[in-house]
A and B are shown apart, each in its own frame.
Chain A
Amino acid sequence: MTNKEIYDESEERIIQELSGEWNRLDKLIPPNNALSQATWEQRVQMIWKEKKRARKREDLLFLLIALTVIGGGLVAYSFPYVYAIVQGLGLAVAVGVVAVTVHLRRGKRYET
């Protein structure tokens, strides 16, 4: 018998033993929480309802974002000065927040 034949034979033996073990496992460990069909149906309905609700929420959010973007675009187009002022104010607030945060952190570092 060549080495390859011995190798193949031992592999075949292991596969057979594995199949036997897996068959035994199927018999020994049955599912604990196997639900009835009616219970599954209730779950399906619940999950589908929740999915529908989530989809509606997403659609609404998308609509709001789209409206905001379009509205913002229209305002910027119609009243460029107002748009520039609002943007300037926004930028100033953002820079202010960053400056205050940095200042506070520095203060803390010196205290410790």
Chain B
Amino acid sequence: MSQERERALIQQAQKGDSAALASLIHDHYSFVFKYLVKISMDPKTAEDLAQDTMVRCMENIERYDGSSSFSSWLITIATRLFIDKTRRRKRESNWMKQQESARRLRWHYENQQEDWSDLMELLSRLPADQRIAILLKHYYGYTYDEIGVLLSIPPGTAKSRVSCGLSELRKEVGRHDK
């Protein structure tokens, strides 16, 4: 979707045009889902959260001020929903459930005769906040300042999460290589 068309659709949606908002959501759903699979490492959770993200987007579209791109705004909503869910899970005794999520993803891989690499396994064990920071920095190409805004943390914290996560992965990869 071109940026001009997107901007026009957003303006129409903010004026109350439901077709315009539906078109925006339809176009961005897959993007949000893919982002959520990467941070949650669980297709089922990603599906639920993608739906919730879209509902939040419908409820709050008039609050979108255009200071960041529409997809960044959706990423912010999706990340906050994911963090809320993770916190709730933590209270319910978490570790087992996180492993279960990763197992579900692994099952999807094996079902399609794809191999589940060591790196994916290590990634699934990394704390979610570090995984999110690495993903936003090195896959989506956000700067530390932007990540700070997206996650409501100082840029320095974003930087340290990325570097801690990467060094943890490097350590583990080294151990696996030996």
Contacts and interface: CB of A to CB of B under 8 A. Distances in A.
Interface string B116-143: 0101100100000000001100110000
The main secondary structure of chain A at its interface with chain B is: helix
Contacts of B112: 28
Contacts of A35: 26, 29
Contacts of A36: 26
A18 B138 contact: yes
Nearest to A41: B22
Interface string B97-125: 00000000100110010100101100100
Interface string A1-16: 0000000001100110
Given A21-B119, A31-B47, A40-B25, 4 more contacts: A10-B170, A31-B29, A31-B34, A37-B23
A47 B54 CA distance: 11
Contacts of B65: none
Contacts of B120: 21
Interface in B43-91: 43, 46-47, 50-51, 54-55, 58-59
Given A25-B38, A32-B43, A47 B139 contact: no
A83 to B, nearest CB: 43
A78 interface: no
B109 A28 contact: yes
A107 interface: no
A34 B117 contact: no
B166 interface: yes
Given A21-B123, A30-B30, A47-B55, A14 B43 contact: no
Interface residues of B, number: 41
A33 interface: yes
The number of chain A residues touching the other chain, given as a range, is 20 to 34
A34 B166 CA distance: 33
Interface in B156-178: 166, 169-170, 173-174
Contacts of A33: 47, 51
B144 interface: no
A93 B162 CA distance: 61
A58 to B, nearest CB: 14
B38 A17 contact: no
Contacts of B105: 29
Given A14-B173, A28-B108, A29-B108, A34 B30 contact: yes
A48 interface: yes
A22 interface: yes
